């Protein structure tokens, strides 16, 4: 078996996890599969043969940049690949993006609901420009979010507008293009060179539907992700494996594409 990389997961500092997980469970009316700590995620990775996990943090306030940077630095290893976060309202956002690059991190996570922005608003342009010129990966929560009213903060049109402005931006859209907007994903995004992680999406799509979307998309642009602890790493993988995809395609999705993306 080749390398398996989970491109979308979350952990918290131990003391934060104790409070954050029950709170987020309540907000989203969901049950976590793990306790949100590094140890529990590593245990899951060991159990299911996952080599690396990308750890997405979200700065819900500008002041969280520093603590997220320290946490990201404290957990980084061969197996855990942290993507720190900048808040777009921070006056220091541009400088912070440079710091993330200088400290050797591979990417940045942003979330339009928790960070209160619209993906294609002009305020974001300097931020995307800097992420682009620093050659960092931008993992963006796209589509709706289970814990928020259905507002179009990062829909397929906004994604396409962003990529039109920054064609070289290493943008990874989450949840198979845009959570709960999959009809528009099919219409506007499938077939284009747009990275998508498959986290927390196949649960909501029919098997035939998911398979068709995957097979119509460029094979190098799909990434296995679990959104752990909000889904299980094994369960998310099984949802891909049960589609009986071509073996080479499955290997690309489960790890090869992520490895290539993280190498550059
Ligand atoms: Zn997530």
Cα(173)–Cα(101) distance, integer angstroms: 20
The β-bridge partners of 157 are: none
Going from the Cα of 17 to the center of ligand 1, the distance in angstroms, rounded, reads 15
Summarised one tens digit per residue, pLDDT across range 43-81 is 999 999 999 999 999 999 999 999 999 999 999 999 999
Res 1 pLDDT > 60: no
- What domain range includes position 215? 5-263
Summarised one tens digit per residue, pLDDT across range 150-161 is 999 999 999 999
Give the residue-averaged pLDDT of 227-246: 97
pLDDT for 245: 98
Number of Cβ within a 10 Å radius of residue 16:
14
Going from the Cα of 66 to the center of ligand 1, the distance in angstroms, rounded, reads 20
- Number of folded domains that form the chain: 1
Cα(74)–Cα(77) distance, integer angstroms: 9
Give the residue-averaged pLDDT of 256-263: 97
Is residue 86 a contact partner of residue 116, using CB atoms and an 8 Å limit? no
Going from the Cα of 9 to the center of ligand 1, the distance in angstroms, rounded, reads 6
| Sign of the four-CA dihedral 178, 181, 184, 185 | positive
Is residue 175 a contact partner of residue 201, using CB atoms and an 8 Å limit? yes
Going from the Cα of 150 to the center of ligand 1, the distance in angstroms, rounded, reads 17
In percent, the amount of the chain with pLDDT more than 90 equals: 97
The β-bridge partners of 223 are: 197
pLDDT for 28: 86
Summarised one tens digit per residue, pLDDT across range 187-229 is 999 999 999 999 999 999 999 999 999 999 999 999 999 999 9
Is residue 262 a contact partner of residue 136, using CB atoms and an 8 Å limit? no
Full-model pTM? 0.96
Going from the Cα of 218 to the center of ligand 1, the distance in angstroms, rounded, reads 23
Going from the Cα of 200 to the center of ligand 1, the distance in angstroms, rounded, reads 8
Going from the Cα of 211 to the center of ligand 1, the distance in angstroms, rounded, reads 22
Going from the Cα of 33 to the center of ligand 1, the distance in angstroms, rounded, reads 13
The β-bridge partners of 228 are: 9
Mean pLDDT for all residues in the chain = 97
Cα(85)–Cα(65) distance, integer angstroms: 6
Q: What is the CATH number of the domain that holds 120?
A: 3.20.20.140
């Amino acid at each position: 078996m080749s390398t398996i990389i989970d491109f979308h997961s979350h952990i918290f500092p131990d003391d934060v996890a104790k409070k954050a997980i029950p709170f987020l469970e309540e907000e989203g009316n969901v049950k976590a599969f793990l306790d949100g700590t590094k140890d529990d995620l590593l245990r899951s990775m060991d159990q299911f043969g996952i080599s690396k996990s990308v750890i997405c943090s979200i700065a819900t306030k500008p002041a969280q940049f520093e603590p997220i940077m320290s946490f990201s630095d404290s957990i980084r290893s061969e197996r855990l690949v942290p993507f720190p976060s900048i808040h777009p309202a921070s006056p220091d956002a541009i400088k912070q993006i440079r710091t993330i690059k200088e400290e050797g991190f591979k990417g940045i996570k942003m979330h339009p609901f928790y960070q209160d922005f619209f993906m294609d608003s002009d305020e974001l342009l300097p931020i995307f420009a800097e992420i682009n010129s620093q050659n960092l990966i931008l993992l963006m929560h796209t589509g709706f979010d289970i814990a928020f009213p259905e507002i179009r903060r990062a829909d397929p049109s906004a994604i396409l507008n962003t990529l039109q402005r920054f064609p070289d931006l290493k943008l990874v859209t989450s949840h198979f293009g845009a959570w709960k907007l999959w009809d528009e994903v099919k219409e506007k995004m499938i077939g284009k060179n747009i990275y998508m992680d498959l986290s927390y999406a196949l649960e909501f799509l029919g098997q035939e539907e998911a398979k068709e979307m995957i097979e119509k998309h460029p094979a190098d642009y799909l990434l296995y992700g679990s959104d752990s602890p909000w889904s299980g790493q094994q369960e998310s993988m099984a949802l891909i494996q049960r589609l009986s995809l071509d073996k080479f395609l499955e290997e690309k999705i489960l790890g090869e594409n992520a490895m290539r993306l993280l190498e550059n």
